[in-house]
């Protein structure tokens, strides 16, 4: 009996010792917080406010209880007594990025996507993304649950507009449901809306009847639907009431000569037609007018197309990946570099020109990154790169920042609180070393990311996942 008691006590003691020996939760939000105070004064900052207004130097921003309480010239706005003071001389403050074609998965094998919500949300935040839409979901509940946990302050990451699983017709993708008919499309929208999805995405093999039913069902609930289309043309989708179209014009099949109704002619056919398209010709201008008149937004995702294009720079951030995934992409990158006949050498600049024409015609251009393809589109790093690529398209750095912040917030219906820097708005801010309005690459120099007035340390967020992205 005494021996049994001794054994029980010993086991309990060992268990306690093991518990105390365990490291702190490596995903705990407190591990990544750099600054958290009721009142914060950011002084001597250059403010690029996300509205398209010229940058303003020598500004003081007062953040109180998570909101922007004051902003103005340092000579006029005095830091409140007791405020935590941060001198930002030589640095800029921009709104938190609002990116709308993000994923919480990544290509890990042939036709298979690994679910990487834990590491990806940290990387997005580290790169300056404070609000994002998951533009497609191959898991089901993970996106929805992470949205909830981040909203509750239990995890570090951007606010998430959570898209339901793809709405698609017959395909070989193992992680996608195949719609049976229009009624099934309605059922899927109703089910996932009830589960907590706040957005929907149609995919390449959907029919017009299915898409129309999905749009109608989503709109009944006040929710939006986007599409990476092929079987349905952009003009057809606009007539049905779609809210957004993904990948600029590079997924459009409107100009395929022998396009059959409800049949995807293949991405290659659509892209060959786009590569030959005249941006000043009547057919393209007619499609742009249709989209603008129907208020259909367009999402630029030049980051993923850049990885398909020979002669482009190696993407940043690969060192966060598992060594096997890093090597996998580097091999794909080398193959791409050797393909001198690649259509993307023509398609990438053409896609940029078409997006620019759409925006100049009054269309709402928004931005995302799409970490799919053969890899190499790394959350956070790629969001910064997307802003740089918008400048390559012909937008000024200030205009590119608007596309990556306020335009996204407007599309999501969140612009009353986020997307620009103004008194009364949520303090979702990115502090960068340098002046991205003069040198857009300075947007890479993220020092602090504020979400709801709490400052996060990008270096700690990145270090927490470095070399392990691909596991979780």
Specify the CATH number for the domain of residue 41. 2.30.40.10
* In a shared domain, residues 317 and 458: no
Q: What is the 3-state secondary structure (H, E, C) of the chain?
A: CHHHHHHHHHHHHHHHHHHHHCCCCCCCHHHHEEECCCEEEEEEEEECCCCCCCCEEEEEEEEECCEEEEEEECCCCCCCCCCEEEECCCEEEEECEEEEEECCEEEEECCEEEECHHHHHHHHHHCCEEEEEECCCCCCCHHHHHHHHHHCCCCCCCEEECECCCECCCCCCCCCCCCCCHHHHHHHHHHHHHHCCCEEEECCCCCHHHHHHHHHHHHHCCCEEEECCCCCCHHHHHHHCCCEECCCCCCCCCCCCCCCCCCCCCHHHHHHHHHCCCCCCHHHHHHHHHHHHCCCEEEECHHHHHCCCCCCCCCCCHHHECHHHHHHHHHHHHHHHHCCCCCHHHHHHHHHHHHHHHHHCCCCEEECCCCCCCCCCCCCHHHHHHHHHHHHHCCCHHHHHHHCCHHHHHHHCCCCCCCCCCCCCECCEEEEECCCCCCHHHHHCEEEEEECCEEECHHHHHHCCCCCECCC
Residues 58 and 191 in one domain: no
Residues 390 and 429 in one domain: no
The pLDDT tens digits for 321-375 are 999 999 999 999 999 999 999 999 999 999 999 999 999 999 999 999 999 999 9
Q: Are 88 and 232 in the same domain?
A: no
Tell me: pLDDT of 8 over 70: no
The predicted-structure confidence for 363-383, as pLDDT tens digits, reads as follows 999 999 999 999 999 999 999
The residue segments making up the domain with residue 145 are 97-412
Domain membership of residue 158 (yes or no) is yes
Examine the domain organization and report whether 34 and 165 are in the same domain.
Answer: no
pLDDT (mean) for 96-124 = 96
Residue 109: pLDDT band (50, 70, 90) is confident
Is pLDDT above 60 for 1?
A: no
How does pLDDT run across 22-61, given as a tens digit for each residue? 346 778 999 999 999 999 999 999 999 999 999 999 999 9
The answer to whether the CB of 332 falls within 8 A of the CB of 375 is yes
pLDDT band of 21, cuts 50, 70, 90: very low
Distance of CA 16 to the CA centre of its chain: 43
pLDDT (0 to 100) of residue 24: 60
CATH of the domain at 380: 3.20.20.140
In the predicted model, what is the mean pLDDT of residues 393-397? Answer: 98
pLDDT tens readout for residues 423-456: 999 999 999 999 999 999 999 999 999 999 999 9
CA distances from 264 to 232, 250, 253, 261 (A): 7, 14, 8, 8
Q: Would residue 389 count as lying in a domain?
A: yes
- Residue 96 forms beta bridges with which residues? none
144 and 62 housed in the same domain: no
- pLDDT at res. 27: 80
Domain count, the chain: 2
Reported as a single tens digit per residue, the pLDDT across 157-167 is 999 999 999 99
Q: What is the mean pLDDT of residues 407-416?
A: 98
Q: To the nearest 10°, the Cα dihedral for 116, 117, 121, 123?
A: -10
């Amino acid at each position: 009996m005494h021996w049994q008691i001794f054994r029980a006590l010993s086991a309990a003691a060992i268990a306690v010792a093991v518990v105390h020996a365990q490291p702190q939760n490596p995903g705990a939000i407190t591990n990544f917080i750099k600054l958290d105070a009721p009142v914060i004064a950011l002084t001597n900052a250059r403010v690029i406010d996300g509205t398209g207004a010229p940058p303003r130097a020598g500004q003081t921003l007062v953040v109180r209880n998570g909101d922007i309480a004051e902003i103005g010239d340092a000579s006029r706005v005095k830091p409140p007594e007791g405020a935590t003071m941060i001198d930002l001389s030589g640095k800029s403050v921009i709104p938190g990025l609002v990116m709308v074609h993000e994923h919480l998965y990544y290509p890990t094998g042939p036709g298979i996507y690994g679910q990487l919500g834990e590491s990806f949300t940290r990387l997005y935040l580290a790169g300056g993304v404070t609000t994002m839409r998951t533009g497609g979901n191959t898991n089901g509940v993970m996106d929805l649950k992470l949205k909830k946990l981040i909203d509750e302050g239990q995890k570090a990451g951007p606010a998430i507009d959570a898209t339901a699983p793809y709405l698609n017709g017959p395909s070989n993708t193992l992680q996608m449901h195949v719609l049976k008919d229009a009624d099934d499309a309605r059922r899927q929208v109703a089910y996932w809306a009830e589960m907590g999805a706040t957005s929907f995405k149609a995919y390449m093999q959907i029919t017009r009847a299915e898409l129309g039913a999905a749009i109608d069902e989503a709109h009944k609930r006040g929710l939006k639907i986007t599409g990476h289309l092929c079987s349905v043309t952009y003009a057809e989708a606009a007539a049905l009431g779609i809210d957004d179209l993904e990948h600029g014009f590079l997924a459009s099949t409107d100009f395929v000569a022998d396009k059959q109704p409800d049949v995807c002619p293949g991405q290659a056919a659509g892209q060959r037609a786009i590569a030959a398209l005249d941006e000043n010709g009547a057919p393209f201008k007619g499609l742009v007018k249709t989209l603008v008149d129907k208020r259909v937004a367009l999402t630029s995702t030049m980051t993923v197309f850049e990885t398909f294009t020979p002669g482009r720079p190696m993407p940043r951030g690969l060192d966060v990946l598992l060594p096997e995934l890093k090597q996998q992409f580097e091999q794909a990158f080398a193959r791409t570099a050797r393909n001198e006949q690649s259509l993307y050498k023509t398609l990438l600049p053409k896609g940029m020109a078409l997006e620019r024409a759409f925006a100049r015609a009054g269309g709402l251009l928004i931005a995302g990154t799409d970490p799919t393809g053969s890899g190499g589109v790394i959350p956070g790093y790629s969001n910064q790169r997307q802003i740089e690529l918008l400048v390559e398209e012909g937008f000024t750095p200030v205009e590119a920042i608007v596309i990556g912040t306020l335009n996204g917030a407007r599309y999501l219906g969140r612009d009353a609180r986020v997307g620009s820097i103004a008194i009364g708005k949520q303090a979702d801010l990115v502090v960068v070393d340098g002046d991205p309005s003069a040198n857009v690459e300075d947007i890479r120099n993220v020092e602090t990311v504020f979400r709801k007035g709490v400052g996060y340390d990008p270096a700690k967020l990145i270090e927490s996942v470095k070399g392990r992205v691909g596991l979780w």
